[in-house]
Amino acid sequence: MKIMKRPNILLTGTPGVGKTTLGKELAQRTGLTYINVGDLAKEGQLFDGYDEEYQCPILDEDRVVDELEDQMTEGGMIVDYHGCDFFPERWFHIVFVLRTDNTNLYNRLESRGYTGKKLQDNVQCEIFQTIYEEAVEAYKEEIVHQLPSNDPDDLERNLEQIAQWIEQWMKDNN
Ligand code: ADP
Ligand code: MG
Protein backbone atom coordinates (compact mmCIF):
# COMPACT_ATOMS: atom_id res chain seq x y z
CA MET A 1 0.00 0.00 0.00
CA LYS A 2 1.27 3.44 -0.90
CA ILE A 3 1.26 5.86 2.01
CA MET A 4 0.08 9.37 1.08
CA LYS A 5 2.56 12.12 1.84
CA ARG A 6 1.08 14.88 3.99
CA PRO A 7 2.44 18.34 4.82
CA ASN A 8 3.59 19.70 8.18
CA ILE A 9 2.03 23.02 9.15
CA LEU A 10 3.23 25.47 11.78
CA LEU A 11 0.71 27.74 13.51
CA THR A 12 2.48 30.47 15.43
CA GLY A 13 1.86 33.94 16.85
CA THR A 14 1.55 35.81 20.15
CA PRO A 15 -0.32 34.02 22.95
CA GLY A 16 -4.08 34.59 22.53
CA VAL A 17 -4.19 35.02 18.75
CA GLY A 18 -6.12 31.78 18.27
CA LYS A 19 -3.55 29.09 17.36
CA THR A 20 -5.13 26.37 19.46
CA THR A 21 -8.68 27.16 18.33
CA LEU A 22 -7.65 27.03 14.67
CA GLY A 23 -5.28 24.07 15.05
CA LYS A 24 -7.75 21.74 16.75
CA GLU A 25 -10.55 22.54 14.32
CA LEU A 26 -8.21 22.18 11.35
CA ALA A 27 -7.10 18.75 12.59
CA GLN A 28 -10.73 17.65 12.87
CA ARG A 29 -11.53 18.80 9.37
CA THR A 30 -8.46 17.48 7.62
CA GLY A 31 -7.44 14.40 9.60
CA LEU A 32 -3.98 15.83 10.24
CA THR A 33 -2.54 15.45 13.75
CA TYR A 34 -2.62 18.44 16.10
CA ILE A 35 0.40 18.97 18.37
CA ASN A 36 0.40 21.58 21.14
CA VAL A 37 4.06 22.14 22.01
CA GLY A 38 3.24 23.77 25.37
CA ASP A 39 1.16 20.76 26.45
CA LEU A 40 3.78 18.33 25.15
CA ALA A 41 6.44 20.08 27.23
CA LYS A 42 4.24 19.96 30.33
CA GLU A 43 3.47 16.27 29.90
CA GLY A 44 7.09 15.33 29.36
CA GLN A 45 8.52 17.97 31.72
CA LEU A 46 10.63 19.22 28.81
CA PHE A 47 11.80 22.28 30.70
CA ASP A 48 15.17 23.71 31.48
CA GLY A 49 15.01 26.20 34.32
CA TYR A 50 12.44 28.73 35.48
CA ASP A 51 11.77 32.28 34.33
CA GLU A 52 11.31 34.31 37.51
CA GLU A 53 10.13 37.41 35.68
CA TYR A 54 7.28 35.67 33.89
CA GLN A 55 6.76 33.00 36.53
CA CYS A 56 6.87 30.17 34.05
CA PRO A 57 9.17 27.27 33.21
CA ILE A 58 11.62 27.68 30.32
CA LEU A 59 11.17 25.30 27.40
CA ASP A 60 14.00 22.84 26.76
CA GLU A 61 14.03 23.44 23.02
CA ASP A 62 16.49 20.67 22.16
CA ARG A 63 14.48 18.04 23.97
CA VAL A 64 11.26 19.26 22.34
CA VAL A 65 12.88 18.93 18.91
CA ASP A 66 14.14 15.42 19.73
CA GLU A 67 10.72 14.43 21.00
CA LEU A 68 8.97 15.57 17.80
CA GLU A 69 11.49 14.46 15.18
CA ASP A 70 9.89 11.09 14.29
CA GLN A 71 6.39 12.50 13.92
CA MET A 72 7.62 15.40 11.83
CA THR A 73 9.48 13.02 9.52
CA GLU A 74 6.25 11.08 9.08
CA GLY A 75 4.40 14.28 8.03
CA GLY A 76 0.81 15.43 8.48
CA MET A 77 1.42 17.39 11.68
CA ILE A 78 -0.14 20.70 12.75
CA VAL A 79 2.22 22.26 15.30
CA ASP A 80 1.00 25.02 17.64
CA TYR A 81 3.49 27.19 19.52
CA HIS A 82 4.08 30.88 20.30
CA GLY A 83 7.65 30.72 19.05
CA CYS A 84 9.22 29.20 15.98
CA ASP A 85 12.95 29.83 15.59
CA PHE A 86 14.17 26.66 17.30
CA PHE A 87 12.35 24.16 15.10
CA PRO A 88 14.40 22.76 12.22
CA GLU A 89 13.52 24.73 9.08
CA ARG A 90 13.17 21.51 7.07
CA TRP A 91 10.22 20.36 9.20
CA PHE A 92 7.62 22.76 7.82
CA HIS A 93 6.07 23.08 4.40
CA ILE A 94 4.13 26.19 5.40
CA VAL A 95 4.07 28.61 8.34
CA PHE A 96 1.05 30.65 9.42
CA VAL A 97 1.46 33.60 11.76
CA LEU A 98 -1.91 34.52 13.25
CA ARG A 99 -2.51 38.22 13.89
CA THR A 100 -5.04 39.90 16.17
CA ASP A 101 -5.89 43.60 16.63
CA ASN A 102 -4.47 45.07 19.84
CA THR A 103 -7.67 45.78 21.75
CA ASN A 104 -9.10 42.42 20.83
CA LEU A 105 -5.95 40.63 21.98
CA TYR A 106 -5.83 42.66 25.18
CA ASN A 107 -9.36 41.57 26.04
CA ARG A 108 -8.67 37.91 25.25
CA LEU A 109 -5.56 37.83 27.41
CA GLU A 110 -7.26 39.67 30.24
CA SER A 111 -10.09 37.14 30.28
CA ARG A 112 -7.42 34.41 30.33
CA GLY A 113 -6.26 35.97 33.60
CA TYR A 114 -3.17 37.79 32.37
CA THR A 115 -2.44 41.01 34.26
CA GLY A 116 0.29 43.63 34.66
CA LYS A 117 3.59 43.14 32.88
CA LYS A 118 2.68 39.78 31.39
CA LEU A 119 -0.42 41.28 29.77
CA GLN A 120 1.45 44.39 28.57
CA ASP A 121 4.41 42.47 27.18
CA ASN A 122 2.25 40.06 25.24
CA VAL A 123 0.21 42.86 23.66
CA GLN A 124 3.45 44.66 22.84
CA CYS A 125 4.80 41.47 21.26
CA GLU A 126 1.83 41.61 18.88
CA ILE A 127 2.21 45.36 18.21
CA PHE A 128 5.90 44.91 17.34
CA GLN A 129 5.05 41.81 15.25
CA THR A 130 7.82 39.98 17.06
CA ILE A 131 6.70 36.48 16.09
CA TYR A 132 6.19 37.41 12.44
CA GLU A 133 9.75 38.73 12.31
CA GLU A 134 11.02 35.61 14.05
CA ALA A 135 9.22 33.51 11.44
CA VAL A 136 10.59 35.33 8.39
CA GLU A 137 14.10 35.08 9.83
CA ALA A 138 13.78 31.36 10.50
CA TYR A 139 11.91 30.24 7.34
CA LYS A 140 11.92 31.10 3.67
CA GLU A 141 9.78 34.19 3.35
CA GLU A 142 7.60 32.63 0.64
CA ILE A 143 6.31 29.93 3.01
CA VAL A 144 5.41 32.40 5.79
CA HIS A 145 1.85 33.77 5.70
CA GLN A 146 0.04 36.11 8.08
CA LEU A 147 -3.61 35.37 8.84
CA PRO A 148 -6.02 37.81 10.50
CA SER A 149 -7.62 36.19 13.55
CA ASN A 150 -10.13 38.65 14.95
CA ASP A 151 -13.56 37.11 14.64
CA PRO A 152 -15.42 33.91 13.75
CA ASP A 153 -15.46 34.87 10.04
CA ASP A 154 -11.66 35.03 10.07
CA LEU A 155 -11.54 31.61 11.69
CA GLU A 156 -13.82 30.08 9.05
CA ARG A 157 -11.88 31.72 6.21
CA ASN A 158 -8.58 30.50 7.61
CA LEU A 159 -9.89 26.96 8.02
CA GLU A 160 -11.10 26.87 4.43
CA GLN A 161 -7.93 28.39 3.00
CA ILE A 162 -5.62 26.04 4.85
CA ALA A 163 -7.75 22.98 4.10
CA GLN A 164 -7.61 23.90 0.40
CA TRP A 165 -3.88 24.41 0.57
CA ILE A 166 -3.45 20.95 2.14
CA GLU A 167 -5.55 19.35 -0.58
CA GLN A 168 -3.49 21.02 -3.30
CA TRP A 169 -0.22 20.09 -1.59
CA MET A 170 -1.26 16.45 -1.49
CA LYS A 171 -2.19 16.47 -5.17
CA ASP A 172 1.17 17.99 -6.04
CA ASN A 173 3.24 15.70 -3.83
CA ASN A 174 1.67 12.26 -4.25
P1 ADP B 1 -3.69 30.76 21.40
O2 ADP B 1 -3.70 29.25 21.31
O3 ADP B 1 -3.04 31.41 20.24
O4 ADP B 1 -3.15 31.26 22.70
P5 ADP B 1 -6.58 30.43 21.65
O6 ADP B 1 -6.93 29.56 20.50
O7 ADP B 1 -6.50 29.81 22.99
O8 ADP B 1 -5.22 31.23 21.35
O9 ADP B 1 -7.62 31.62 21.65
C10 ADP B 1 -7.60 32.64 22.64
C11 ADP B 1 -9.03 33.14 22.85
O12 ADP B 1 -9.47 33.80 21.69
C13 ADP B 1 -10.04 32.02 23.12
O14 ADP B 1 -10.97 32.49 24.04
C15 ADP B 1 -10.69 31.80 21.77
O16 ADP B 1 -11.99 31.34 21.88
C17 ADP B 1 -10.64 33.18 21.16
N18 ADP B 1 -10.50 33.15 19.69
C19 ADP B 1 -9.59 32.46 18.98
N20 ADP B 1 -9.74 32.68 17.66
C21 ADP B 1 -10.77 33.54 17.53
C22 ADP B 1 -11.42 34.15 16.42
N23 ADP B 1 -11.03 33.93 15.15
N24 ADP B 1 -12.45 34.97 16.67
C25 ADP B 1 -12.86 35.20 17.94
N26 ADP B 1 -12.29 34.67 19.03
C27 ADP B 1 -11.25 33.83 18.84
MG1 MG C 1 -2.87 27.91 22.73
Whether residue 1 is contained in a domain is answered as no
- Whether the pLDDT of residue 2 is over 80: the answer is no
Whether residue 152 is contained in a domain is answered as yes
Q: What is the ipTM of this complex?
A: 0.99
Whether residue 3 is contained in a domain is answered as no
Burial pattern 121-144, b for ≥16 Cβ within 10 A else e, equals ebbebbeebbbbebbbebbeeeeb
Q: How many separate domains does the chain show?
A: 1
* Ligand lying closest to the C-alpha of residue 39: 2
pLDDT score, position 55: 81
What are the helix (H) ranges across the chain?
19-30, 37-44, 61-74, 102-111, 116-127, 130-138, 152-173
**Please, are residues 37 and 79 in contact by the beta-carbon 8 Å criterion?**
yes
Compute the mean pLDDT over every residue in the chain, rounded to the nearest whole number: 97
Per the structure, the complete domain to which residue 88 belongs is given by 9-173
Whether residue 140 is contained in a domain is answered as yes
Residue 115 is part of a domain; what is its CATH number? 3.40.50.300
Predicted confidence band at 6 (pLDDT cuts at 50, 70, 90)?
Answer: very high
pLDDT score, position 54: 79
Distance 2 CA to ligand 1 centre (A): 37
Whether residue 2 is contained in a domain is answered as no
pLDDT tens for residues 84-117? 999 999 999 999 999 999 999 999 999 999 999 9
Q: What is the pTM of this model?
A: 0.97
23 is in an annotated binding site: no
Atom of ligand 1 nearest to the CA of 151: 24
Helix or strand or coil: residue 31? Answer: coil
Pocket of ligand 1 (CB under 6 A): 13, 15-21, 108, 149-152, 154-155
